[in-house]
Structure 1
Amino acid sequence: MNDETGKIVRLGVLFRGAALTGVFVGLAACASPFSPPPADPASPVAAAANAAAKASKRADRPSFMDIPAIPTDVRTPVQFKKAVGDEKLAAAKLMRDTAPSTWTLSNTEAYAAKARAAAKAPALDAPTDADRAATEAFAKAARERATAPPSKPQ
């Protein structure tokens, strides 16, 4: 029985090899997908198109020599690790310095007095008759200058 399994496996390998050979033969018969198709000979630009296609085949392609050198001004992994550690230390110090209950307000009266002196409150006098007359005169002049907006044609 064990011998029959071996025969089946060998038969599968044989069929697979035959199938792959057929695929490779079929691919070899096809044109390369990277080469340009030929131009229509009846086209007035056929000669220019074929010349451009030949030129593109001969064009310089980049090589491994075109890869730039490794930059020398980049930090090493050790330097990156040190920079990250410094940032973590600075963040921890900032958290300690700004944690709740780490500061208190003091001498607020001096600050408030300085702010009150800088901000002068407007006088809260009641308007006089002269103020009311000036306001009415301004309103009357504004009404006389005002014109109604044009009506829309229907």
Structure 2
Amino acid sequence: MTIALGTAQLELVPVVNTPPNPWDWRDAPAFDVIAQAGVILRVPRDRYDFEGRSHSLWYCDAFEAGRYEWIETAFMISPMVARMTTMRPFMADPGIEAAKALWAGMAEYQLAWPIEPLDSDAFIDRWANWLADAAQGRLQSPSAMPEKPTPRSWRQK
């Protein structure tokens, strides 16, 4: 589903089942993701190669084994890597790159938004405000990433 307002587009990525063991990595996170979705806010590319932002939505037991809930998170490219994406921050499916971002070591992907339970009121307010800003040409790439502290609050092995 896509909502357009001016030149801005807000897309809700449909929910899909996550394959078993999507991490496919020896240091995979301890939690299970059984479904995933996302949200994407697109704007016309600006002179800084910014085209919007996207966040992952995972249905998982990130905080307590067997207690499944929707979480929101987003990723960024490490400042140590000479590469940039047009979506800042960006969503990622549960997989090896996301697993490495959640690992205690260094990796190309890092968290740009904490893994946090989805609060529907705050979520709707935040994305509605970003859509309004985007429609008025005011949405910009975050000035610093991660945008919020990203504590390692999820279940660890």
| Larger CA Rg, structure 1 vs 2 | 1
Which structure's residues are more often helix, by fraction? 1
Which structure's residues are more often strand, by fraction? 2
Compute the TM-score of the two structures, normalised by the length of structure 2: 0.15
Compute the TM-score of the two structures, normalised by the length of structure 1: 0.16
